[in-house]
Structure formats: structure tokens, C-alpha cells
Structure 1
């Protein structure tokens, strides 16, 4: 069989420096999935961008060919005119980018941006194009396609923006889909459904896919062949069963050793009956009022969070788990005082054990600034967090300048120390954010959050953009500084393997409600709620013989009105959160 895309001897460099991609070769057949695996900065994304001729202006293709098979035989994409490449991009070869906020226009509605693909290539027009876009939105997991069609990117969560990017890439039904970390920002249930969707589309259309990822669980579920890259070179390549089942290269073995997994057996953690909460949320709800689609349409109320009751113990980690749009990040923003909760809510912060609790809802501007020095946040999207016009040293020192801490030299010294803590070098202080890979930018965000020496840290998907080996280092770092400084974490994640490692308490959220809560050993080894069971079934494992159980996922990840009667709820009837065993709560009817 003739390869659909064949990359031969690709070499890419910047300026006079040594090549960052050196003599890389790989190929993908029609209908096949090739996984490009490696750490951030290994050259995976650059190799794929070279195929579409969308490299940065300063990048130089120093050698190699990219052959795309077509009706008239293979052609070298490097020799096509820009006009010819416009036909290839989006029509024959489409790409899902890693950072959706950077790729989507903030000035245009999501529907208009997705439908543009069909209009540019003449695939569909008018109401037919709109219908096709809405069908694609529904297939990638949007519960209200019409609302998403008319929304702007800033109105969606990180995972929802990523789903919009996936819809934009597949709506044109391309021959080849290049997916650069397509499920990085997605919760595990949506990830499982999207992976199943991509497989389904491949079977229907014969579409090939190049999957750029660091998630070995995703590779095991999707890939037919695997190419492992490190520092711009191919380390190992071959059929997925051989590479995953019996890796030969030392680097591949290290990747597998660093991959997080839910432990096979439960490890009971010591419990302390007298709980000391550094932050406690009581009766916390958040309602957003949206304008109607037209001036004469009524306003729409979105209940993002409903009746939250949980706390973060001092020196421990509360993990909040759930799908995009479940209210996790909204809870985090309210916990930091960045958003106001609905009237009647209490968000109590106790800086020291035995001190009087302060209600964040009642703080003035001066007291709020003092509180923000003690509580910081690591955001999900590092690209939108860091100012692209500020050097790293300025971005890191800015929090200390705002709070008037230290001299210039002391700030630089602190910034240098924080870079070392997150595994970066001092010579990176003078660089701009665009000079770093996605994983490196996330580490910079973590360093910036630690600059003020906070006692409470909200981590919103802090490891979602990191490859497995760096993720392992960051998790170790977070554990070390938590134990050393007695920090308390609210840890938001969709990766249950990460949660199983770092969490002391887990709260599972769905549609603004906590539907199950308890210690990890209770939720992971004795789950009661169908949605919690779906989360566990959707967790990909780096084992080709243990695929994702899509049936269990679809049962628990469906609408709450389709759940078993004991757990079913709607906007009118919501069951209470009941304690079924010591410390283990489940939202169910008695």
C-alpha cells in the first residue's frame, strides 16, 4: 500500500544553531493512525507543522521531503505554491492545535469560525453548512450545539474550546488529520468519546491520523504504529504492539516508567478526626445571566455551581474532578475571591490554625489584595497566562512588584530559584514565552504562582500540558513544596491517575453539583455513582490489551436524566448528598 504521507530525512533549524529536527523520517498509510511520542521540545510538533508549511518565519527547512499521495500520484508539499497549499490545508490535511485559545479568533463566534472551513473549500453552503456544523458539535460532545454555535471563545471553558477545535478540524472530512495533543484539555469521559469518535470517522471515511501526544494511554488505545522522538531524532519506531509491549530503546522504557497509573490496590491513608480547614465553602452557588440571542428574547440563566459544601484541609490536597463545564474552575475562582458567589454563600479562609475565619465574600479591596498574597493559582492555559511581550524575568517578578516585596536583586534571585524548582535554567530569564514549548510554559506558570510564597494554591489542570516525564517531576515538586511549606492545594484535574497520587480527598462534580466525595481509596476502589464509574472506565492505560470501556463510559457520561433511578436528577428534582460510609458521600435518592 502506498503511504498517504511520507516524511523523509526532514531537518529543521533556527539561525546558525544545530538542527532541532535532525533527519526525521516516518510515514502513515490511508486509514492508519501513527503516534508521534516524546517529551516537549522533541520536535514532534515542528515535524508536523513542516508538513503543512506553517513553521515560524525564522525556522529553516534544511533538508528532506514531505510526500502526499493524491489522484495523480505522490507530490512533494515542499515544492507546492502557496495557493496550492491553501487547497491542501483544511481540505486534504487538517490539524488540531494544542492551544485552542491561541488558535481561535476572540472576535468571532465559534459557529462562524467552524463554518468558514466549509465555505472556503466549497464543501457545503447555506443551511446545509450550518446543519453539518451543528451535527459535528453534537458528535464532539456539546450538549447544546445551538448555544455553542453563537458563543465566543472566552465564553467557553478550556476543554470546550478544545472540542470546538476538534470540530473545526473534522468538519471538512479530510484525508489526513494531524492531531497535536487533541485531548490534552479534555476530561477523561469526553476524551474517551472523542477518541471513539475519531476512530468511527476513520472507519467511515478511511481518514488517516498522525497523533502527536505524550499520553501513552491514548497511544495504546489509538495507534497502529508508533514513532518515539527525543531531541529532534527518532529513537524507536514500529508497530504499536511491539513498541508498547516490548520497548527496546532506553528512552522509550523511561517514558513508560514515568507514566502515571491508578494503583492496583488501595493504600489507606491515616485519617485525622479533627479537621482543620484552611478554606471552607458553604452553600456556594454561582449563576450567570446571559443575554438572549436577540433583543426580544428572554435572558438565559446558567447555573454553573449549585450548593457546594466542601473544604481544603491545611497541608493537604482536595482534588476536584469532572468534565469541562461541570463548575470546577468556577469553584476555584470563587475560592480565590476572583468571582463573587450568589448571595447566601460563605467562603471561609483561615490563615492559621485556631485563627478566626474570614469570609471572602465580605473582604474590601485592601484586605482582598493581602489575601491574594496568601493564595495563588496555576492556570490551565499557560499561553494566555503569560504576557507575550514580557520577558520571563519580568513576568516572574511582577507579583512581587505588585505587592512591594524585595529589591530588584532579591526579586531576580527569587525568580532564579523558582526556575530551578520547576526544572528550568537561569539563562531562560531573558527569553519571551513564545520561545518555550507548551510544557515549559506551564512550568513557568507554576514558578510564577510560587513567587509570593503562598500558603494556599489552586492548581487548575497544572500537568495537562506536560509530557509524562516532566509531569512526574512537577508532581514530585508539588508534593515536596506542599510538605516542606505546609501548603494546601485545591487540585483540579481530569487525569484520575494524577489525582490518585496527589489527593487526600476527592470531589467529583457534574453540572455544578458534587455527585460523589470521599478519600481516593473509596472513590477509586468502591465507586457508587455511575458517573464516577464512567470516569474510571474512561481512564486510558498504557496497555494495548486493556482498551477503554466505551459502554461503561457512555452509560455514566450520559445526561443525568438517563442515569439509574436512584441517581437521576433534573433541574427540578435534585437528590441530596448522603454519607453512605464514613467519609464517603454520594448524591442519591434515599
Structure 2
């Protein structure tokens, strides 16, 4: 059988430097899924971008062929005209990009952006293209496709934007889909549904997929063939059962060792919580008024409803749930960045036995003091660091704002923080673009630590990182917590990460906490159907243990499909009841 895509001896470099991709070769057969696996900087993305000829201006392809065989013709994609290439892009070959906020236009509604593909390549009318797009929005997991059609990208969460990107790539049913970390920013239930969706489309259309990922669990569930890359070279290549079951190369074995997993056996019981609460959220609710379009009245959306969370000093409280469940809203309210609804209360205590500070009723002086004691590490290190500021400026700026130390002392503090996060002080003169994704996340952590806070809110700090870098960042966060006595409010959708770092876990669904317990209880005795779905959706790097999509769809679907004891409509939910000491579940008596 003729390969759909045949990449031979591809080498890519920048300027006069040595090639960053060297002699890469692989084939993709019609209907096949090939996984490109490796760490950040291994050359996976630039290899895929060369297929669509969307490389940076400074990149040069020094050797190689990329042959595409479709509809009876075979063409070298590196030699055809730009006009012919435009006919292929988005139609016969589509790409899902890793960073949806950079790939979507902030000036156009999502519906218009996705339907543009159909109008350009399928010559569809406005009505027909809208119907097709709404069907695709529903298939990628949007509960309200009409609202998404009218929305702009900045009105959606990161996971929702990624779903829109996936819909844009899939709507034309291409022959080849290049998926560059398509599920990295998604929660595990949505990830499982999207992976199932890609498989269904492959069955329906015969579409082939190149899956760029660092998640070996995703590879085990999706790929027939695996290509492992490191430093621009192919380290190992072969059928997925062989590569995953008995990796031959040391680098592949290293990736396996770094992959986080939920332990199969419960860990020893963790230290019992004490009564020193640093952060206390009481009956926290937040409602937004969303634009409805035209002359219609604004639509009221409840982001979170009567959330009660208590973070013990020196501990880690993890909040997990799918995109749009209200996790980040709770974190922003905890930091005073959002004003909660009336009746909500957020109390912070600086120092053991300190006076309670009501975060949503602070004076300007109290707010300045609070901002020194509570800092945030954001999900996207690209956006949280200014590209125009050198590392030294980025790290000393918080100290300048709070008038801490002399200029020399601030610089020395910045150097000390770099050492804390495993970077060299000589990097102070660099700009953020000179660092890898993992290094930028270390810089974000260093910036948050310069004020010596007591509370650190971590909003998906490892979700965009490959497994080996993720392992380093988690170890770093654990060392900093234990060394500095910090308390973490840890927002995540990755249960394997949570199982490792958390002392207590709260599971959120549609704005309410549905289950709460220590990880050793939650993961080995889950009671709520949504919690069970989250655990079932966690991909494992074993081809013999695929994701159970039936169990995922039951728990992650409509609450109307849940057993009677757990069923509720909207925010009209049953009370959170304590089934056993420390284990609370939202259920009817």
C-alpha cells in the first residue's frame, strides 16, 4: 500500500547553525495513527510544521522529501507552489495547534472562524456551514454550541478554546490530521472524549493522524506506530505494542520512568490535618452576566456555587475538575482578583494564630500586605512573563513595587531565587524567549517566590509541560513547599499529578464540589460517578488497558444519567455529606 505521507531524510536548521532536525524519516499509512513522542525541544513540532510549510522565516530545510499521496496524485510538498499548498492546508491536511489563544483570531467570533474552512474549501453557504459547525461543536463536547458560535476566544477558558481549535481542524474531514499536543490543556474527561472523537472520525472517513504528544498514556490509547525523537533525531521507531511494551532505547525508558501515574496501591496514610487554617473559603459563589447578543437580556452563568474549602498551613489542597467547572474562578476569588457574590466569605491568616483577614473586604493597605503573602503561578508561562523584560527585571519588579531592599539586594534576591528553582544566575540578562517551556515555568515560580509568600496558588502549573520537565517541576514545588513552609492551592485536571502532590482533593463539577477527601481515600474508594469518570479517563501507558469511554461518558455526561442518589439539575444539588471521617460526597440521603 502506498503511504499517505512519506517523510525521507528531513533536516531543518536555523540560519547558519547546526540542524535542529536531522535525517528524520517516517511513513504514515491511510487511516493510521502515528505518534511522535519526545521532550520539549526534540524537533516534533517543527517536523510537523514542515509538512504544511509553515516554518519560521529563518528556518531552512537543508535536505529531505515530504511526499503526499492523495486522490490519485503524489506530490512533494516541499516543491509544489504556494498556491497549490494553500489548497491542501485546512482541506486535505489540517493541524491542531497546542496554543489556541495564539492560533485563534481575537477579533472574530468562534463560529465565523470555524465556518471559514467550509466556505473556503467546500464552497458551503452560510446556513449549511453553520449547521455543520454546530454539529461539530457538539461532537467535541460543547454543552451549548449556539453560545460558542457567538463567543469570542477571550470569553472561553483554555480548555474550551482548545476544543474550538479541534473543531476547526476536523470540520472539513481532512485526509491527514496533524495534532500537536491536542489534549495537553484539556481535562482528562474531555481528553478521553476528544480521543474517542478522533477515533470515530478515523472510522467514518479513513483519516490518518500524526499525534504529537509527550503523554505515553495517550499514545497507548491512540497510536499504531510510535516514533520517539530526541534532540532532532529519531531514537526508536516501531509498532506501539512493541515500543511501549519493551522499549529498546534508554531515552524511551527514561520517558516511561518520568510519566506520572495514579499508584495502583494506596500510599501510607498522610499526617492528619491540624487546625491551623491559612485560607478558608466559606459559601463562595460567583455569578457572571454574559452577553446574549442583539437586544436580548444578559444570560446569568454561575461559575461556582456555595464552595467551602479550608487549606491547612504547610499543606497542599488540590481542586480538580473539567474545564469550566469553576476551579480557576475559586482561585481568583481566593486571591481577591474576583469579587464573589454577596454572602461569600474568604478568610486568610498570615502566620500561625494570625488575625483573620477578610479578602473580599480589604482596605488598600491590607491588600498591599496580602499581595506580598499570597502569589500565583499561572498555567501559561508564555503569557505570564513579559517578552520585553529581561529575567532580572521580571524578578525584581515585585520587590520594586513593594519597596523591598536596595537595587543590589533585589538583584541578589533574584539570583537566589533562580538558584532555588534550578537555574543559573547568569541567565538574569536573558529574555524569556531564550528559554524552553519548562525553564519559563521555573522563572514564573521564581518570580512568585521573590516576595517570600506564605500561600502559593498554582493554576495548572504543569499541564503544558512534557513528562520529564513535569517531573522536575513537581519535585521543585515539593522541595520549595517543604523548605519554605509554603501552603499550596493547587488547580489541576491531571489526577496522576494530584495523587503525588496533594494532601486533600476537592472534585468540582459545574461549579459545585461533588466529592472531597485525601487522595488515598478518593482514588481507592471513589463514590461519586463524576470522580469515577475522572479516574477512568486517566490514560495509562499500556496498550492492554485502554480508556473505558463508556464509564467516562456516564460520569462526565449529563447528571440526569447518574444514579438517583447523586442526580441534580444545575446548581440545585444535594448537600455535601460526610460518609466517613474526612470523606465528603454530594448525594441525597
Query: Is 2:138 the counterpart of 1:138?
Result: yes
Query: Is 2:434 the counterpart of 1:460?
Result: no
Cα separation, 2, equivalents of 1:425 and 1:53: 36
- 2:318 alignment partner in structure 1: 319
Query: Is 2:82 the counterpart of 1:74?
Result: no
Moved more, 511-520 or 384-393: 384-393
1:484-527 Cα offsets, whole Å, 9 max, x none, are 00100011111101100000000000010000001111110000
The alpha carbon displacement at 1:71 in A equals 2.9
Cα separation, 2, equivalents of 1:89 and 1:439: 31
Cα separation, 2, equivalents of 1:387 and 1:283: 36
1:340-371 Cα offsets, whole Å, 9 max, x none, are 11111110000111111100011122321221
Task: Check whether the contact 1:518–1:583 (CA below 8 A) recurs between aligned residues.
Answer: yes
Q: Secondary structure at the match of 2:73?
A: coil
> Equivalent residues in 2 for 1:418-457 (5 A)?
418-457=417-456
- 1:553 alignment partner in structure 2: 552
Cα separation, 1, equivalents of 2:77 and 2:213: 24
Cα separation, 1, equivalents of 2:439 and 2:89: 28
Moved more, 23-32 or 527-536: 23-32
If the length of structure 2 is used for normalisation, what is the TM-score? Answer: 0.97
The alpha carbon displacement at 1:395 in A equals 2.5
The alpha carbon displacement at 1:572 in A equals 6.6
Task: Check whether the contact 1:400–1:451 (CA below 8 A) recurs between aligned residues.
Answer: yes
- 1:215 alignment partner in structure 2: 215
Task: Check whether the contact 2:278–2:349 (CA below 8 A) recurs between aligned residues.
Answer: yes
The alpha carbon displacement at 1:434 in A equals 3.6
Query: Is 2:14 the counterpart of 1:14?
Result: yes
Specify whether residues 571 and 55 from structure 1 end up closer, same or farther in structure 2 by C-alpha distance, changes over 3 A only: same
Moved more, 400-409 or 557-566: 400-409
- 2:269 alignment partner in structure 1: 269
The alpha carbon displacement at 1:432 in A equals 3.4
1:310-330 Cα offsets, whole Å, 9 max, x none, are 111100000000000000000
Q: Secondary structure at the match of 1:347?
A: strand
Query: Is 2:285 the counterpart of 1:280?
Result: no
- 1:575 alignment partner in structure 2: 574
Task: Check whether the contact 1:283–1:309 (CA below 8 A) recurs between aligned residues.
Answer: yes
1:4-27 Cα offsets, whole Å, 9 max, x none, are 111111111122222111111112
Q: Secondary structure at the match of 2:211?
A: strand
1:108-158 Cα offsets, whole Å, 9 max, x none, are 111111111111213522111001111111000000011111111111111
Specify whether residues 422 and 232 from structure 1 end up closer, same or farther in structure 2 by C-alpha distance, changes over 3 A only: farther
Cα separation, 2, equivalents of 1:273 and 1:86: 60
- 2:5 alignment partner in structure 1: 5
Task: Check whether the contact 1:442–1:465 (CA below 8 A) recurs between aligned residues.
Answer: no
Query: Is 2:240 the counterpart of 1:240?
Result: yes
Specify whether residues 531 and 565 from structure 1 end up closer, same or farther in structure 2 by C-alpha distance, changes over 3 A only: same
The alpha carbon displacement at 1:184 in A equals 0.5
Task: Check whether the contact 2:381–2:444 (CA below 8 A) recurs between aligned residues.
Answer: yes
Cα separation, 2, equivalents of 1:21 and 1:197: 31
Moved more, 570-579 or 539-548: 570-579
1:149-191 Cα offsets, whole Å, 9 max, x none, are 1111111111111111111111111111111110001110000
Cα separation, 1, equivalents of 2:12 and 2:273: 59
Cα separation, 2, equivalents of 1:267 and 1:572: 34
Specify whether residues 207 and 418 from structure 1 end up closer, same or farther in structure 2 by C-alpha distance, changes over 3 A only: farther
- 2:390 alignment partner in structure 1: 391
> Equivalent residues in 2 for 1:97-116 (5 A)?
97-116=97-116
The alpha carbon displacement at 1:442 in A equals 2.9
- 1:94 alignment partner in structure 2: 94
Cα separation, 2, equivalents of 1:477 and 1:241: 33
What's the Cα RMSD here?
1.5
If the length of structure 1 is used for normalisation, what is the TM-score? Answer: 0.97
